[in-house]
Amino acid sequence: MTLTVWGRPEAVNVQKVLWCVEELGLDYTRIDVGGHFGGLDTPDFLAMNPWGRIPVIRHNDFTLWESNACLRYLCRTFKQGPFANLTDHAFAQADQWVDWLVTTLYYSAFRQYYMYQIKVPAAEKDASKLAAFREEALIPLRFLNDQLAKRSYVVSEQFSMADLLAGVYVDRWMRLDAEASSLTHIARYFERLSQREPYKKTILAFEVKPA
């Protein structure tokens, strides 16, 4: 079995996949591409992903792109580690949260706040704009915080595919926002995830700070 992941390790969407692979305990090769590494517009890369984005995975002779599609494939194909007893119903419940996390929490709300924090230099930040982005991000974050008051992980007491997204987004929130710990259940969730060796290796190992 050969597994290769293309992507730079500090990228949000790549981190989800690398964390998944580590939780599964799989041997793999990672190839740097994207960001300052470049390489997304080469013929070889575009032959794998014509959209020219990371991550891309190749399992033996099967190639796949789009990070959440990669997660679904890996979790369903390699039922081991925290995914060893994955039932159809458990997978479906995790998958509904995957959709909510990426469409409602991240892209429609949190990403604006996150990118403004890390891309715009402190001297150029507009306090009112930052506050507006933060308030928009807090709407789904408060909802997630309420959910985590009822359980240890996003779906249940068991770690699931949904945590691979939530954990990456929560990492950014906890390390970028001065008052992040006010969402106490998210803060405890972050502490819980921070005890996992795959999380330490693929998420916490990389610096996250405001520009």
Mean pLDDT of all residues belonging to the chain: 96
Q: Token pair of 135, please?
A: 């308030």
| Range 32-48 average pLDDT | 97
Task: Check residue 198 and give its pLDDT.
Answer: 98
Task: Check residue 96 and give its pLDDT.
Answer: 98
Count of CB atoms situated within 10 Å of the CB of 60:
9
Give the Cα separation of 162 and 65 in Å (integer).
18
Q: Tell how strand 62-65 and strand 56-59 pair up.
A: antiparallel
| Range 22-42 average pLDDT | 97
pLDDT at 5 over 90: yes
pLDDT digits (tens, 9 = 90+) for 176-209: 999 999 999 999 999 999 999 999 999 999 999 9
- What is the reported pTM? 0.96
Q: How confident is the model at residue 102 (pLDDT cuts 50, 70, 90)?
A: very high
Strands ordered across the beta sheet of 56-59 = 29-31, 3-6, 56-59, 62-65
Provide the β-strand partners of residue 6.
31, 56
Alpha helices (runs of H) in the chain, residue ranges in sequence order: 12-24, 43-48, 67-77, 88-100, 111-119, 127-148, 161-176, 184-193, 197-199
pLDDT at 1 over 90: no
pLDDT at 175 over 90: yes
Task: Check residue 86 and give its pLDDT.
Answer: 87
pLDDT at 155 over 90: yes
Which residue from 121, 124, 101, 122 is spatially nearest to 172, judged by alpha carbons? 101
